[in-house]
Amino acid sequence: MRKEVRTPSPVLSSVSFPGQADPETTLNLLWGSPPAAEAARRGPKRSLSATVIGTAALELADEGGLAALSMRALGARLGVAPMALYRYVPNKDVLLELVLEAAYAQLPDDLPPGADWQTCLRTVATDAWNHYRRHPWILQIALQRPSLGPHAIRKYERELRAIEGAGLTDLDMDLMVAVVSDYVRGSAHSATEATSAASQTGQSDAQWWAAHATHLERLLVPEQFPLAVRVGSAAGAAYGGPTDPARSFEFGLARLIDGLALHVAKERGGATGQRGAR
């Protein structure tokens, strides 16, 4: 009997996982529904709200990434003692949910009026790309267990509305949103790496290429790698560096939506054929 070999799960130490705090506490904060104990508490009401805390946390994350998001820094930003924040936010896991919700609140809700689903989907994907570029720290947060605040649900609702006219099943609608979301997130991650390269290394892409080009020309034999030399030269001249993340995103998104359109046409054709056979 063949023994099954299990591959150990990789550990993503640099990724934060939301949704680990008490669900009731977290969702009450996100949806503005105070716990029964708080509602029955006598005396002055709390002066801060989840929205105010989340907005301040968003400012800190945008300025210095998730590493800058601490109770001490947040208390200083809000003008309260760090320990006082624990009356509102019991731990860092809940704070992570609040800052995500604050970021999602900035996403638009409208879609191009009268546009087809391909145009609407392209709009949603581009908005998500721009959102990641404005808030690159979100890429450090695992979203396989999604945030469940009202703005996070509003984001999902808009994504579904974008493709509602495609005529797909509910499951296919969810899968289409997931495929496009994964593509956008991966492209944004690559773009963020490209942007970070200059600040982390002290060299722009053009400077990096100039430092390597002369040596590469000396070592590289065009007859050995004819395609790499020809295509690489054309791409480098067009990009002004090793990559062009924005151009890659636009090209890939267009091809992805083209492929999804073929799937939609196939599903519609199959449904029409089934109706005609009855």
**What does each of the 278 residues of the chain score in pLDDT, given as a tens digit?**
444 444 333 433 466 776 677 888 888 888 986 544 444 455 444 578 889 999 999 999 999 999 999 999 999 999 999 888 888 888 888 899 999 999 999 999 999 999 999 999 999 999 999 999 999 999 999 888 888 899 999 999 999 999 999 999 999 999 999 999 999 999 999 999 888 888 888 888 888 888 888 888 888 888 898 998 888 888 888 887 778 899 999 999 999 999 999 999 998 876 544 444 44
Phi, psi for residue 144 in degrees, rounded to 5: -70, -30
Tell me how far apart the alpha carbons of residues 25 and 249 are, in angstroms, rounded to a whole number: 38
The residue extents of the domains of the chain are: 23-36+46-104, 203-240
CB 48 within 8 A of CB 78: yes
* CATH fourth-level superfamily of 23-36+46-104: Homeodomain-like (1.10.10.60)
pTM: 0.83
Which residues have CB under 8 Å from 147's CB, separation 6+?
A: 18, 19, 30, 97, 100, 101, 104
**Structural contact between residues 147 and 19, judged by C-beta atoms closer than 8 angstroms:** yes
First vs last Cα of the chain: how many Å apart?
A: 49
